[in-house]
Amino acid sequence: MLKISVNNLLPGMVVAKNIYDADANLLLSKDMILTMQYINRLKTIGLRSIYILTEKSHNNILYQEDIMREETRLKAIKSIGDTFKKCLCTKKLDIDVIKEVTINIIDEISQSKTNLIQLSDIITFDEYTFGHSVNVCAISTMMGIINQYSPKRLYELALGAILHDIGKIMVPLEILNKKGRLDEEEMKIMKNHSTYGFELLRKTRNLSVVPMHVAFQHHENFNGSGYPRALKNLKIHQYARIVAIADVYDAITTERPYQKARTPYQAYEIMSSEAGIKFDINLLESFFDNLAIFTPGSLVLLSNGFYAIVTSISSGLQFHPTIKVIAKPNKEFLKEELYIDLKEYDHIKVLRNLSENETIAILNSTQALNTSAML
């Protein structure tokens, strides 16, 4: 399975996951064969990427389920978006809608069969703030479950997470959606969103103080270098420390107008360098211990120069997946099927995910790209 931009789609490619529009209406079902008409429709509605199958024989790939179904996520995004937009006009937040969405997210994730954190994000740029709020809520909820939170604490964490960026509705869109680095004055305005959010939530009835502090503190850094109050260590609420991790992870791995999405492994490298600086070390380790770093269906480069498709992963062994080797270092196709469980081969490691262009080139050269001509 490969996440590929719609600009690189070709007729005959096979859809790997159901595709929905912004209202959670099903557009294309899994296993459908793409036509030029379908591809143009995806471009028209503003989708930037979708998931396609990468192999003719993909039965041996144990695809990792997302912690939340795409249909549920899109419905949550629409509800949150409508509620936040209404709040911008009325200056009052309909907290009952937010609470209902939060409970639905908790219920779905609690019943999920997956034990690894993964979200497949294919929302449009215009939905980023609302999609980000839902993603951060989902990831934070999973972290709460991993850390064995009680139902009450899990609800407080999830509610704080989904409201963490509510203050951004007060930030001008030209700053929120700017393509490129913010200047000093723009950054000052952007940083105010934590305070804006706190003040808005403080005026909201039937809301405990805990979610307010998550909105206020999620940009505080563990070493005291964050904002708005330069809190450090355990003076930062634990929920805010969890949300800070989910917030940065989702920002790194989501495509935005000014930034291409990076892989979970790239996020791991970036965030690990900030352990103890931006992030609580123990919470960050717990997060990465349960993150789907190399997702099944993705293509990777091995330390011996060979190319492989990840076929399965296990919690705690994300750096040692089971793989199917498909090409030699010279990109020559491997004719025999070769499956390797990397936890049994310490001398072979996964170096990195392949970029989209590298992946397409390898799959085309090995004839492993699933198109209707191969079915």
Q: Which residue has the tokens 């909105």?
A: 215
- Give the separation between CA 128 and CA 133, rounded to whole angstroms: 8
Q: Give residue 341's pLDDT.
A: 94
Q: Give residue 373's pLDDT.
A: 36
Mean pLDDT by 10 residues, the chain (375 residues): 80 86 80 91 82 61 67 89 94 96 95 72 61 94 95 98 96 88 94 97 95 97 97 97 97 80 90 97 94 84 93 82 91 87 92 85 64 39
Q: Give residue 51's pLDDT.
A: 81
DSSP string, 102-164: HHHHHHHHHH----SB-------GGGHHHHHHHHHHHHHHHHHHHTT--HHHHHHHHHHHHTT
266: burial class by Cβ within 10 Å (0-12, 13-18, 19+)? middle
Q: Give residue 42's pLDDT.
A: 87
Q: Which two tokens stand for residue 136?
A: 């951060």
Q: Give residue 278's pLDDT.
A: 98
**Distance from the Cα of residue 100 to its chain's centroid:** 22
Q: Give residue 223's pLDDT.
A: 98
Domains of the chain plus CATH, in order, are 2-52 (3.90.105.10), 70-289 (1.10.3210.10), 299-374 (no CATH)
Please state at what angle helix 128-146 crosses helix 281-289, rounded to 10 degrees: 90
144: burial class by Cβ within 10 Å (0-12, 13-18, 19+)? buried
